[in-house]
Amino acid sequence: MLFVYPRTVRFQDTDAAGVVYFANVLAMCHEAYEASLAARGIDLRLFFTGSEVAIPIVHASVDFFKPMFCGDRLEIHLNAIQTKDSEFEIQYRLFPEGKADKALSQAVTRHVCIEVKPRSRCPVPDLIHEWLHP
């Protein structure tokens, strides 16, 4: 499943050197994740607070290829894939707007589905299964 999220780098995303602070790349990727869920009609408020299933991120990594600066217009390409019955992974690639052949950064987040009360793994909920396999 591929989703493209447009994003402009804001001043608050940058560090004292004027480039995007490393942790903010993950924040931008999470914005893309939320936007992709909303685009599929998933109610974000219920998804993040009102469910019996939680989907924590258990792994995250980021690689940087070129610096990103305040005002840069980006495209975040999100590709989500189910890796196990109870897990999925989201691969992100950040590009300058309109230049999908020149990646600036890439990131990965791995998510595990758990039942909130017993804190035990459970299968990916139907809502997320439909998002993963449109």
Q: Which residues are catalytic?
A: 15
User: Could you give the CA distance from residue 111 to residue 87 in angstroms, rounded to a whole number?
Assistant: 6
The vertex-109 CA angle with 68 and 3, nearest 5°, equals 70
Residue 91 · residue 75 · CB < 8 Å: no
Please give the C-alpha separations between residue 5 and each of 43, 114, 119, in angstroms, as whole numbers.
18, 27, 32
- Region of 59 on the Ramachandran plot (φ > 0 left; ψ -120 to 50 alpha; else beta): beta
For residue 110, the SS3 value is strand
User: Could you give the CA distance from residue 35 to residue 127 in angstroms, rounded to a whole number?
Assistant: 15
